[in-house]
Amino acid sequence: MTQKKELIRDLTNGSVPKTLLNFAMPLFLSGLLQTVYNMVDMIVVGKFVGTQGLSAVAIGGEVLMLITFVAMGLSNAGQILISRYVGEGRRDRVGEMVGTLFTFLMSAAIVIMIIFLLTYKGIIAWLNTPADIFEFTRQYCLTCVCGVVFIYGYNLVSAILRGMGDSKHPFMFIAIASIVNVILDLLFVAVMKLGPFGAALATVIGQAVSFIFALNLLYRNREQFCFDFKPEHFRIYGTVIRPLLSLGIPMIIQSAAITFSMLFVNSYINTYGTTAVAVTGVARKLESMISIISQAISSAGGAMIAQALGAAKTERVPKVVYHALWIVAIPAGIFSLIMIFHPSWLFGLFSSDDAVLTMALEYVPVALVQFLGATLRPANFALINGSGNSKLNLAVALLDGIVCRIGLALLLGVVFSWGIKGFWYGNALSGLVPFFIGSVYLFSGAWRSRASARA
């Protein structure tokens, strides 16, 4: 009989940079593939539909973020807690967390889908969507929201696997989604001429296939998670729901605050017309290339710190933070040079519209500020999230998402009359907030008290 491969991985031993890179690499590749297949939507639509279709997909992608912040917040919280339970050797709590995450998150997905179906027209209007792309945007949003259950399902299964120290399988699942999405994008948009609706449909189908593969892996290895998939165990366990909500709610607020504040800023940007929408949308996709490195290091570092604190190995925590910083700095510096010397080439991947390429040159300095924030954030987020400090998470959410992003955007864009550049810079500068808060937390040593705390 063939023995099943152990999915649980100890992240508390060995070289810190090696462990961090090995764990983060699959996460980075997963994020890269996810970003690429999201970019494919924009590239294919931009080439075969034009600037209007490109702008509609850009706004639709932002709206999609609005309905996924609950999944992101609770999945991240679940991952951190599972890592803590693994570090403490409490396998029974892992099984209870699996059942709780399934029941809670999938229920939330259904509720959010219903709410969005009743309100999506108002949301699109609130974003000041230009009239000439309103119908394209409506088609894209409505199609994507029908796949929200698959988005939530994939996020929760991936969080469970990453919490156990397995980052390779989530990469495999997103690779499957990417391949399906690219093939269907070309079929639906380029061949069948379905426009943004076809791009959204390709995304939903890709996510569905990915979730099915992920769920199958979890079921086949169910004994490792102490969860047997019996109907009576798909419930909310009182032993884990309190720590999940205690850590998850601030993470949800953080995601929601950032998402809502970005949508608020974008509602002003959208008033500058379809070209401005296209440039901002393309810029966000380009910035996401650095963001996926940041998120991979942040997620990997958070899991390592959670396991280290669970195992009372506090000496590893500062090492994780410092190594996370320089690992992100190298690719961010390279990408900054490309943005400085070849911006037209980068934006030209998405659009050949002269108006778009001309306005894109104005965005280059803003992109450099975004890259700086993406370099400085992940190490500090890894510490804050990995230590399970819900109050500090909430403080970051409110300062980054509400006070700074909206405040700076209105100050520079309206009060100082910088116009669209003011809104761009307001959004970019707010990304530096987590670095300052996290640095104070690191040097204060307050995180050390989390080593002895049990959820």
Q: pLDDT for 380-389, tens place per residue?
A: 888 988 887 8
pLDDT digits (tens, 9 = 90+) for 10-67: 677 778 888 888 877 777 777 777 677 667 777 788 778 887 887 888 788 777 777 8
Closest CA to 210 of 167, 171, 176: 176
Residue 455 pLDDT level (bands cut at 50, 70, 90): very low
Q: Which pLDDT does position 453 carry in this prediction? A: 46
Beta strands per DSSP E along 224-309: none
The DSSP letter of residue 418 is -
In this structure, are residues 256 and 66 in contact, taking their beta carbons and an 8 Å threshold? no
Percentage of residues in the chain having pLDDT higher than 70: 95
In this structure, are residues 294 and 329 in contact, taking their beta carbons and an 8 Å threshold? no
pLDDT digits (tens, 9 = 90+) for 114-147: 988 888 888 888 878 888 888 888 888 888 888 8
pTM for this entry? 0.69
Q: Which pLDDT does position 5 carry in this prediction? A: 54
Distance CA(29)–CA(436), nearest Å, equals 28
Long-range contacts of 315-320 (CB under 8 A, 24+ apart): 316/12, 316/16, 317/383, 317/386, 317/387, 317/447, 317/448, 318/442, 319/16, 320/16, 320/20, 320/379, 320/382, 320/383, 320/386
Distance CA(59)–CA(46), nearest Å, equals 13
Question: Residue 1 pLDDT > 60, yes or no?
Answer: no
